[in-house]
């Protein structure tokens, strides 16, 4: 079926990049699409969703430059727009820095609020004010969805927020974490019932990393993610609230081991309790989204 010519509208060419975040080499970390719009307006939402679906990464960032140090970023999964994506933000500002467009401290406007970004070889982004949303008392369905029976953790299972609501779920050790057998349909059901984005499962380590983590978000079309900025910022706040780490300092989380894409996510709690998350990134590819005829 073809559209009549009068229903068609030309769209300008958009530059896109494929960037691996939370790693210093290609084919590691977590991949995001980044579409640079210059100072042009955002395309319509249906088109941005289609572009994200075509690129097929968990999130694609669409970036408008408002001034030399001010940007507006919107994030799309292959299914819908989301308020914030940590790894796509790190990918975006690492790319902009390499292109000479972002230096030092920048302001990033998002649906989750205005964030301060430290743009350099390592990008650190200010997260939304973190908080604990809820403590979960009935944990049976949560651990059952991970393939763990009759487990009583020494730390609480809580929904924590740092831009998105994620379930913080402790397991006993790294071996148990890597051996999980998650049931995606069950995880999707639980996250939907609790109005959360993901199961963020972690094991505290004594090997130079604050914790090893895995993140499952099948409700949003992401069975497992190799690096999650927002969820690890929430985990940093959770660990500080529960007395596992100091209330200030620098921390690091290893994620993606089970996927063969190890990622190192850096976090920091500032003296004013602001949480920052970030890391390095590698640019993998670039191209053009050609002028398209669409309604």
pLDDT at 112: 85
Q: How far apart are the first and last CA of the chain?
A: 14
Question: Is residue 290 pLDDT above 80, yes or no?
Answer: no
pLDDT tens per residue, range 54-79? 999 989 999 999 999 999 999 999 98
Q: How far apart are CA 19 and CA 12, in angstroms?
A: 22
Q: Which residues are catalytic?
A: 59
pTM over 0.85: no
Domains and CATH numbers, the chain: 5-122+281-294 (3.10.310.10), 131-274 (3.10.310.10)
Vertex 166, ends 169 and 168: CA angle to 5°?
15
Q: How many CA atoms lie within 13 A of 194 on its CB side?
A: 30
Does residue 6 sit in helix, strand or coil?
helix
Average pLDDT, the chain: 91
Is 88:81 a contact under the CB 8 Å cutoff? Answer: no
Q: Which residues are CB-contacts of 38 (< 8 A; sequence separation ≥ 6)? A: 64, 65
Question: Is residue 9 pLDDT above 90, yes or no?
Answer: no
**pLDDT band at 271; cut points 50, 70, 90:** very high
pLDDT at 10: 42
pLDDT tens per residue, range 199-255? 999 999 889 999 999 999 999 888 999 988 899 999 999 999 999 999 999 999 999
pLDDT tens per residue, range 89-105? 999 999 999 999 998 89
The residue with tokens 């955002």 is: 42
């Amino acid at each position: 079926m073809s559209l009549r010519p009068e229903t068609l509208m030309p769209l300008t060419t958009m530059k896109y990049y494929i960037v691996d975040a939370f790693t210093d080499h290609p084919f590691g970390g977590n991949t995001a699409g980044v579409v640079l719009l210059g100072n042009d307006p955002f395309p319509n939402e249906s088109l941005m969703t289609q572009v994200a679906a075509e690129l097929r990464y968990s999130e694609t960032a669409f970036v408008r430059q408002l001034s030399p140090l001010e940007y507006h970023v919107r994030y799309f999964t292959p299914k819908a727009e989301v308020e914030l994506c940590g790894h796509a933000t790190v990918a975006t500002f690492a790319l902009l820095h390499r292109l000479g467009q972002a230096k030092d401290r920048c302001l990033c406007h998002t649906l989750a609020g205005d964030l301060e970004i430290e743009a350099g070889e390592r990008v650190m982004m200010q997260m939304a004010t973190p908080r604990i949303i809820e403590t979960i008392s009935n944990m049976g369905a949560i651990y059952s969805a991970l393939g763990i029976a009759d487990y009583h953790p020494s730390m609480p299972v809580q929904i924590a927020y740092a831009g998105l609501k994620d379930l913080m779920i402790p397991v006993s050790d790294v071996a148990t974490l890597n051996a999980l057998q998650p049931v995606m349909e069950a995880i999707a059901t639980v996250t939907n019932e609790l109005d959360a984005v993901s199961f963020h499962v972690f094991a505290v380590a004594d090997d130079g990393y604050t914790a090893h983590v895995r993140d499952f978000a099948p409700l949003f079309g992401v069975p497992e993610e190799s690096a999650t900025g927002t969820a690890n910022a929430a985990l940093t706040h959770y660990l500080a609230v529960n007395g596992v780490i100091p209330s200030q300092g620098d921390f690091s989380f290893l994620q993606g081991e089970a996927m063969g894409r190890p990622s190192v996510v850096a976090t920091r709690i500032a003296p004013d309790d602001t949480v920052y998350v970030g890391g390095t990134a590698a640019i993998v590819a670039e191209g053009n989204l050609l002028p398209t005829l669409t309604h």
